[in-house]
Structure 1
Amino acid sequence: MTPLSKPFRGNLSDADIASLREFVEIVEAGGITAAQARLGKGKSAISLGLSRLEGRLAMRLCERGRSGFRLTEQGQMVHSAAVQLLGEIGRFNDFIGAATQKLEDKVTLFVDDSFLFEFGEPMSRAIGRISDRYPGLRLTIRMSSPDHIYASVLEGVADLGFTALSRHTDALAATPVCTEWMGIFCGRQHPLFDMDDAMITPAELRRHSFVATEVTQEEAYSEFVRGLMIRATAPTILSRMLLVLSSRYLGVVPISFAQHWVEKGDIRELRAEGSRTANTCYLIHRRARPLGLGGTIFRNMLIDELALAGATTGTVPDES
């Protein structure tokens, strides 16, 4: 290791900032070997750069060797400070770019796959607004399942998530923005398709195979779901709908999402006592990596457009 030099005086150069960026990448990867792909460098080059940073700061940042990679107490402090510093540098660059109407930023948004059907219009308007105002902004949008969105935001793969979050953690900032109503549906060849709603009881529903339901926020509905006979798993709403369309499984899906197949006569909603539930939908981001200006602006535009569309009212769907 490079011998520790005189104490660091706090004057950071561009080279120091670059070294701190590499250090953060090494920590997030879990070690020097795992960081090779992230940094595009070999182990020896990464190790040398880390040793030089330790010499520059006059402190041992980590233990590495056969016993594995582990941050020292000082290394933990430097890592935390570096993450904060790099975030502030990124936000400064964003604000300077925004001042000249040249927001050069990248924003990745992961969205529940069913939201296109219920919230597609306000989302597309928000995308149009930010694209028109900041043509240099690079947007990445991906539709996925709530669990995958939750994990992707926590891991830093996505800047923003828009999901019917089923659990909360202090690691995420979660802003409630709208409500999604869910119901139980069956395919047209299912034994319950032609049964009158008055005859469909919770007991009757429990006699039939269900697709597992990941998002059930209301406690009473969670109890209802726990009594069902789960015979299939489908993490996304689209995959769940495929199983419902087979007429072999009942599934809990968003009512607005299901409307397309209801109108075609391919599925119907089964109305029994307690068969509907409302899920609150959230915009989420990781607290440890605050949003840059691009992400903040896009998040605010999404909230505005959802409010204008009346998506925040939580109105119960038409009972007809």
Structure 2
Amino acid sequence: MRGEVMRGQLGDTDLRLLRIFRKVVECGGFSAAEIELNISRSAISMAMSDLETRLGLKLCQRGAMQMLAAAEGFRTRINGLHAWLKGELNIGITDNLVTMPEMHITDALSALKGHGPEVMINIRMIPPNEIERAVLDGRLHTGVIPTLKTLPGLEYRSLYEETSCLYCARGHVLFREPRAGDTLARGRPVGEEEIRQHDAVLPAYAQTPAIKALHEPLKAAASATDREGIAFLVLSGRYLGYLPTHYAERWVRDGQMQALSPVANSYVTYYSAITRKSRRQAKPARRAQAARESKP
């Protein structure tokens, strides 16, 4: 009932209102949240007013979001006492890992669903630094990110190695049409000085010092916040750019992309699964982790 004040415990209505508030915060306002939530702005405003009334205080973004994470975590832990898995598993994953041949996240999710059909799995594709923050403050139970640095509040479990190479696309002056019997489809030798002369797209996300050093000789003419953005620009035929080999494979196979001196222009990124330290994992998260670790 509208105007009812909570009396010492959070019910489903309170959690629903807190989730709406969380989405407003994540989207940066009512307008963007209106699209994400698929409800009107007036309905969102009324929900926020109801939430303030029920809480008996003005909303503080960080405090309310921590309250929601704690409440959902408590409910998940209580459900975890039962033999049958219930609750939520909130996962953050870096973009464009699904094409990695060694990727076993799907196997872990399948095993989890088999053990707990009622588990609500929520996956968010977001940048690594946001995944780290969300795991630290409890909004995510686990995440998969490149291992660029280690934070003291997180546990890291090694998962994969990912190789990236420098690519150009059909239409670029450095692209060479392969002939019968040659290996240009897999890469062609190009001198470093020649590469420096052509526009390149650089990543606008965190990289290790070694990977940054490999990008420094390139002629920076564009940037992208993720690998898909880099692929868009490379496929324009106007830019060079580094992409994971497993991600570029579809275009290489179709003759749309070509690696440039792949031995000299390549690097390896290491990926880890992260969880928060000093917090007993929810049962669905532990089950998913066990399924991951059982894979070779």
TM-score between both structures, scaled by the size of structure 1: 0.65
Could you tell me which residue of structure 2 aligns to residue 259 of structure 1?
249
Q: Does 1:146 align with 2:128?
A: yes
Q: 1:118 aligns to what SS in structure 2?
A: coil
Give 1:216's aligned amino acid.
Answer: Q
Q: Does 1:205 align with 2:195?
A: yes
Give 1:116's aligned amino acid.
Answer: V
- Counting only pairs closer than 5 Å after superposition, residues 166-315 of structure 1 correspond to structure 2 as 166-194=148-176, 200-213=190-203, 214-217=205-208, 219-271=209-261, 274-287=264-277, 290-305=280-295, 308=296
Could you tell me which residue of structure 1 aligns to residue 81 of structure 2?
96
Give 2:162's aligned amino acid.
Answer: E
- Percentage of pairs with the same residue: 19
Range with bigger deviation, 222-231 or 184-193: 222-231
> Hey, what's the Cα distance between the residues in 1 that align with 2:141 and 2:7?
27
CA apart distance, 1:193: 1.4
CA apart distance, 1:241: 0.9
Q: 1:284 aligns to what SS in structure 2?
A: strand
> Hey, what's the Cα distance between the residues in 2 that align with 1:91 and 1:252?
41
* 1:41 paired residue among 47, 50, 54: 50
Could you tell me which residue of structure 2 aligns to residue 128 of structure 1?
110
Q: 1:124 aligns to what SS in structure 2?
A: helix
Q: Is the 1:216–1:222 contact (alpha carbons within 8 Å) kept by the matching residues of 2?
A: yes
Bigger Rg, structure 1 or 2: 1
Q: Does 1:105 align with 2:87?
A: yes
Q: Is the 2:159–2:271 contact (alpha carbons within 8 Å) kept by the matching residues of 1?
A: yes
CA apart distance, 1:159: 2.4
Range with bigger deviation, 162-171 or 123-132: 162-171
Q: Is the 2:102–2:160 contact (alpha carbons within 8 Å) kept by the matching residues of 1?
A: no
RMSD: 4.2
Give 1:174's aligned amino acid.
Answer: Y
Contiguous gaps of at least 5 residues in structure 1: 1-13, 31-35, 51-63, 70-75, 309-320
Contiguous gaps of at least 5 residues in structure 2: 1-5, 26-44, 178-183
Q: Is the 2:167–2:240 contact (alpha carbons within 8 Å) kept by the matching residues of 1?
A: yes
Q: Is the 1:216–1:277 contact (alpha carbons within 8 Å) kept by the matching residues of 2?
A: no
